């Protein structure tokens, strides 16, 4: 059974997935950040692979990606860094990124290396359903990687069920159609999440985009299995304290 499935069997509420950018703030911060997230209560790590043109992300995450690229982060370097990851990291790790750098690396090699270092799954926002079904899905499944699709309030029900059926691990519910790092109207979000709850989906649902503190985390957790925090944590890391201090302080405030 995959680490993600095991996690949700043990804990089906208040699951906290935290996004961090590989190679940020320093090239060699990746593992330190991940260990710190684990130690301070994160349940899943979403590890972002930086890209020059990240369409689905807002300013904060793009800036951290630019720093990481300037630091010299590449997919190859990342897999080097992750070689020893499973000696210390026991929680699920999901790689998030965009298709272009992965295609240049080689899609199959990417899946194999990810499996070899102990990655659990992928979130690839610009890999669409048609291409997943016809080109890339098979390789992902052959390498036993979970694959998480995004759904939004505008996703039609039939399509939502299809995306749920093809996802494994969890389903990523975008709180509203927006890029990361924007504030949301949470009364609308609640209605949307209640609708999702009523659909009896196959996968647990984690909510992302606009989750930034205890208040917003608790608000969406009331109607879902948990949430994903990205931009707010990157901002906390950017403030210049040590990784451990910034992470401890940030997660303590969210989980108190």
CB 59 within 8 A of CB 85: no
Across-strand partners of 150? 172
Helix H or strand E segment including 45: strand 44-48
238 is a site residue for another protein (CB under 8 A): no
100 is a site residue for another protein (CB under 8 A): yes
165 is a site residue for another protein (CB under 8 A): no
**From the CB of 216, what's the least distance to another protein, in Å?**
18
Would you say 80 or 131 has its CB closer to another protein? 131
Q: Which pair of tokens denotes residue 144?
A: 């036993």
CB 92 within 8 A of CB 47: no
**From the CB of 28, what's the least distance to another protein, in Å?**
18
How does DSSP assign 144-179, residue by residue? Answer: T-EE--EE-TTS-HHHHHHHHHH--S-EEEESSSS-
Q: Which pair of tokens denotes residue 23?
A: 């190679």
Q: Which pair of tokens denotes residue 134?
A: 């016809």
* Residue 185 known to be catalytic: no
Q: Of 164, 43, 58, which Cα lies nearest the Cα of 94?
A: 43
* Residue 46 known to be catalytic: yes
Site string for another protein, 3-42 (x = CB under 8 A): ----------------------------------------
**Which positions from 178 through 207 interact with another protein, judged by CB under 8 A?**
178-179, 182
Would you say 100 or 242 has its CB closer to another protein? 100
69 is a site residue for another protein (CB under 8 A): yes
64 is a site residue for another protein (CB under 8 A): no
CB 21 within 8 A of CB 217: no
104 is a site residue for another protein (CB under 8 A): yes
Rounded to the nearest 10 degrees, how much is the dihedral formed by the CA atoms of 94, 37, 18, 235? -130
154 is a site residue for another protein (CB under 8 A): yes
**From the CB of 141, what's the least distance to another protein, in Å?**
20
* Contacting positions for another protein (CB under 8 A): 51-53, 55-56, 58-59, 62-63, 66, 69, 74-76, 98-105, 125-128, 130-131, 149-152, 154-156, 159, 163, 174, 177-179, 182
């Amino acid at each position: 059974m995959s680490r993600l499935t095991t996690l949700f069997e043990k804990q089906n509420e208040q699951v906290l997935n935290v996004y961090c950018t590989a190679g940020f703030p320093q090239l060699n911060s990746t593992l330190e950040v991940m260990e710190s997230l684990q130690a301070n209560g994160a349940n899943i790590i979403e590890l972002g692979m930086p890209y020059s043109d990240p369409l689905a992300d807002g300013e904060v995450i793009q800036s951290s990606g630019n720093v990481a690229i300037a630091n010299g982060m590449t997919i190859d370097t990342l897999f080097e860094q992750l070689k020893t990851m499973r000696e210390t990291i026991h929680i699920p790790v999901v790689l998030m990124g965009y298709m272009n750098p992965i295609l240049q690396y080689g899609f199959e090699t990417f899946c194999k290396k990810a499996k070899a270092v102990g990655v659990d799954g992928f979130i690839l926002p610009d890999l669409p359903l048609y291409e997943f079904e016809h080109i890339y899905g098979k390789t992902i499944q052959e390498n036993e990687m979970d694959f998480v699709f995004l759904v939004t309030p505008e996703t039609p029900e039939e399509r939502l069920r299809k995306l749920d059926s093809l996802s494994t691990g969890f389903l990523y519910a975008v709180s509203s159609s927006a890029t990361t790092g924007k504030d949301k109207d949470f009364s609308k979000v609640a209605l949307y999440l209640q609708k999702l709850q009523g659909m009896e989906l196959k996968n647990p649902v984690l909510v992302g985009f606009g989750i930034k503190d205890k208040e917003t985390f608790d608000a969406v957790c009331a109607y879902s299995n948990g949430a994903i925090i990205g931009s707010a944590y990157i901002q906390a890391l950017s403030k210049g304290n040590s990784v451990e201090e910034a992470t401890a302080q940030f997660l303590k405030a969210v989980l108190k």
